[in-house]
Each structure stands twice: as structure tokens, then as C-alpha cells.
A and B are shown apart, each in its own frame.
Chain A
Amino acid sequence: AQTVTQSQPEMSVQEAETVTLSCTYDTSESDYYLFWYKQPPSRQMILVIRQEAYKQQNATENRFSVNFQKAAKSFSLKISDSQLGDAAMYFCAYTYMNRDDKIIFGKGTRLHILP
């Protein structure tokens, strides 16, 4: 069965510094998507970044980038120049490609930004 593991329940980073959130997953599929979602106190789920498994190049979205290592089944999120607005729960997620199927989430990492 597919699983997603986030081993860091909470993390803290100083404002303007860089932080990396870890995510590992387990699957026997070769084609899939990986996502990082942000959930601020407003509770809305916001897609931060996504990665297609067939793409070797790591996805980047402004200050957010990922380190995707397919062989190791690792998908970490790097936040550069951390801002107070980055404080939130971050969920790593996995879903199959080209299938009407559900998305599998990790348990989340709560990120604190220290001023």
C-alpha cells in the first residue's frame, strides 16, 4: 500500500533563514504526482508545489523548491528566506497519475517562524 511519512511533527526557523521539511513515501508505481500543501490557521488547504515523478528536474515555485529523489522515494521541501506568513501546517501528499483516485497525505509538519 502507498504511504507518505513526515517524520518531523514540528519545526522552527528564524525569519529570513532557510528550512527543509522532510517527506518519504512508499509506492510500487512508476508514474505519480507528489505535492506539498500548506494549511495556515485559516484552515484553507493551499497547494504550494507539485512534482511529476517522470520529471527529473526539481520543481520550484518562488521561494519554495523540492529535492526529489525518486530512487530513495524522498521528496523534501525547502523554503528559502522564510517569512512570518509561512507559518502553517505543511502536508506532503502522493497520488497516482492518470487515475481517478484519492490522494494520500502525510500527517503534517507544523512550521513556526521565529521573528
Chain B
Amino acid sequence: NAGVTQTPKFQVLKTGQSMTLQCAQDMNHNSMYWYRQDPGMGLRLIYYSASEGTTDKGEVPNGYNVSRLNKREFSLRLESAAPSQTSVYFCASSESWGDNEQFFGPGTRLTVL
């Protein structure tokens, strides 16, 4: 039982390049989330997926797109990376009913030059 996994762990991009961050969970959770963490800002929600087949914008969705590929996987795509997207990205998952405890992946450190 690996919990929540994310790839890659580190990535450096040039401005304008695109990339996809992958996230998978093996806990059969319905809900999945993407956050970014910046110094002094805490965690900010980018997008979330309450259940398979649905996605919704969070607090800071601009410049990102997501895909809930299936119940296990939830990817985050940067179509044209900008230096302002330099951050640490966390994926998380949770049960959809009752318990709203979220389980986090190890994070991806992204640098955009």
C-alpha cells in the first residue's frame, strides 16, 4: 500500500515549456486534490476532483489544467510554464463521505527559469 505517489520529484523547466505532474493513489479514495505551496502562503488549492469524472477549480487555477484519468489517477498540466509557477506541488486524496482527512503525496519541486 503506497498511499499517494507523485512523479517527478524534481523538475526544471524553461518559460513556455509544458509538462504534466502525475499523481496516483491506491486507497480507493473518491476525492483528489492538487495544491501548491509557496513560502509564507501555506497550501493553496489549485484544482480538485470530488469524484471520478468531475473536476473543479480551487483558489489558484489559472495556468493549470487537470485530468481525472480514472479513480486512481489525477494529473496536473502546465501548458506554458511561467516563473510564477515555481513552487512545490502536492497531490492529496480523501474519502468522499464522512471522513475528510486528506492523505498527501511527497510533493514535486518545480522550478521555472
Contacts and interface: CB of A to CB of B under 8 A. Distances in A.
B82 interface: no
A106 B42 contact: yes
A102 B104 contact: no
B102 A103 contact: yes
**Size class of the contact patch on chain B:** 20 to 34
A107 to B, nearest CB: 4
Contacts of A102: 33, 45, 48, 58
Given A33-B101, A100-B50, A45 B90 contact: yes
A95 B41 CA distance: 18
B43 A105 contact: yes
Contacts of B48: 102
Interface in B5-23: none
Interface of A: 9, 33, 35, 42-45, 47, 50, 91, 95-103, 105-108
6 contacts: A44-B107, A45-B104, A50-B101, A95-B100, A99-B100, A106-B42
